[in-house]
Amino acid sequence: MFEFVEYETHNNIAWITLNRPDKLNAFTAQLNKDVELAVKQASKAENVRCLVITGKGRAFSSGQDLEGVLENMDHGEVLRKNYNPMVKAIDHCEKPIIAAVNGVAAGAGLSLALACDFRLLSDKASFIQAFIHVGLVPDAGNLYYLPRLIGQAKALELAILGEKISAQEAKEIGLATKVIPQEQWSDEITMFAEKLAAMPTKAIGLIKKNIKKSWNSTLAESLERDAQSQRVAGLTSDHIEGVTAFLEKRKPFFQGK
């Protein structure tokens, strides 16, 4: 179904693996499209309650494939056609998305990780704002997400200096949710994803939406959105199950409905 993405689902988790390991999963137009369509497919699938995006081989993604890039200097059009639809698909997904950063995430690879809800890093992984080294500007939502995650001053530092950030440094500045030893990588990623997939999915979607909208909202607008969202969440089967389980002193069994 996809040329450069492996797509699998099990235990209510969609596993989306960038599959150009010989090129360190560098982006081409087709890889952008594959990721976009895979995320949209997982977003619509009733049996999917969590997404994991990772890379095959030793890299998460080294960013844009620069082979032949000088033949087309209209980088703005490349973004509009290839990257922006991919980032928007991730942004529009109401289900939790994990970036399982197994190796280097550079340039647009870092942008992809930033667009996700959680960033779980191998202790061998690293981030690098590679754009400045080729005279370009961080793109694909990079400068939208980065200051929201770590603040303006640190975002400027990373974007302009373009220095490599280790997994542990990423954790210390708030870019990583968790750093995982390589030997525990597969088990820890699966456990984290399964935990999210077992949570009340509709409530997670509302939380994501409300946090995103809060940046451009007044307090009054946020309070009204809280009320609307709580009404929707209060009508879900998961809410009933949560209250029932609390009263019965047992662990709730959520179904994402």
Sign of the alpha-carbon dihedral angle for 211, 88, 142, 171: positive
Which of 165, 124, 133, 122 has the alpha carbon at shortest distance from 146?
A: 165
Q: Are residues 60 and 101 in the same domain?
A: yes
What pLDDT digit, counting tens, does each position of 126-164 carry?
999 989 998 889 999 999 999 999 999 999 999 999 999
> Where among 180, 197, 214 does a domain terminate?
197
Any domain includes 151: yes
- pLDDT of residue 58 exceeding 90, the answer is yes
> Where among 179, 197, 215 does a domain terminate?
197
Any domain includes 254: no
Q: Are residues 117 and 239 in the same domain?
A: no
Side chain identity, residue 182: Q
pLDDT-based confidence at residue 78 (cuts at 50, 70, 90): confident
Find the CATH number of the domain harbouring 237. Answer: 1.10.12
Find the CATH number of the domain harbouring 131. Answer: 3.90.226.10
Q: Are residues 34 and 96 in the same domain?
A: yes
- pLDDT of residue 1 exceeding 90, the answer is no
User: What pLDDT, on a 0 to 100 scale, did the predictor assign at position 69?
Assistant: 65
Measured between alpha carbons, how far is residue 31 from residues 35, 63, 207 in Å? 6, 11, 29
Q: Are residues 60 and 122 in the same domain?
A: yes
What pLDDT digit, counting tens, does each position of 158-206 carry?
999 999 999 999 999 999 999 999 999 999 999 999 999 999 999 999 9
Q: Are residues 149 and 221 in the same domain?
A: no
* Model confidence, pTM: 0.92
Mean pLDDT of the chain: 94
Q: Are residues 30 and 140 in the same domain?
A: yes
- pLDDT of residue 88 exceeding 90, the answer is yes
DSSP classification of residue 124: T
Which structure tokens are listed for 28? 């081409």
Any domain includes 252: no
Query: For 91-107, what is the mean pLDDT?
Result: 96
Strands 97-101 and 59-61: unpaired
Q: Are residues 117 and 159 in the same domain?
A: yes
User: What pLDDT, on a 0 to 100 scale, did the predictor assign at position 76?
Assistant: 83
Any domain includes 257: no
Which of 233, 227, 230 has the alpha carbon at shortest distance from 202?
A: 233
Any domain includes 253: no
Any domain includes 255: no
How many structural domains does the chain have?
A: 2
Measured between alpha carbons, how far is residue 77 from residues 29, 32, 62, 72, 196 in Å? 12, 14, 21, 10, 36
Q: Are residues 178 and 67 in the same domain?
A: yes
What is the Cα–Cα distance from 61 to 82, expressed in whole angstroms? 16
Which of 168, 177, 181 has the alpha carbon at shortest distance from 113?
A: 177
Q: Are residues 191 and 79 in the same domain?
A: yes
User: Which domain range does residue 54 map to?
Assistant: 5-197
Q: Are residues 83 and 191 in the same domain?
A: yes
User: What pLDDT, on a 0 to 100 scale, did the predictor assign at position 68?
Assistant: 61
Q: Are residues 192 and 208 in the same domain?
A: no
Q: Are residues 156 and 217 in the same domain?
A: no
What pLDDT digit, counting tens, does each position of 203-241 carry?
999 999 999 999 999 999 999 999 999 999 999 999 999
Q: Please compute, for residue 38, the number of CA atoms within 13 A of its CA located in the half-sphere on the CB side.
A: 28
- pLDDT of residue 17 exceeding 80, the answer is yes
pLDDT-based confidence at residue 72 (cuts at 50, 70, 90): low
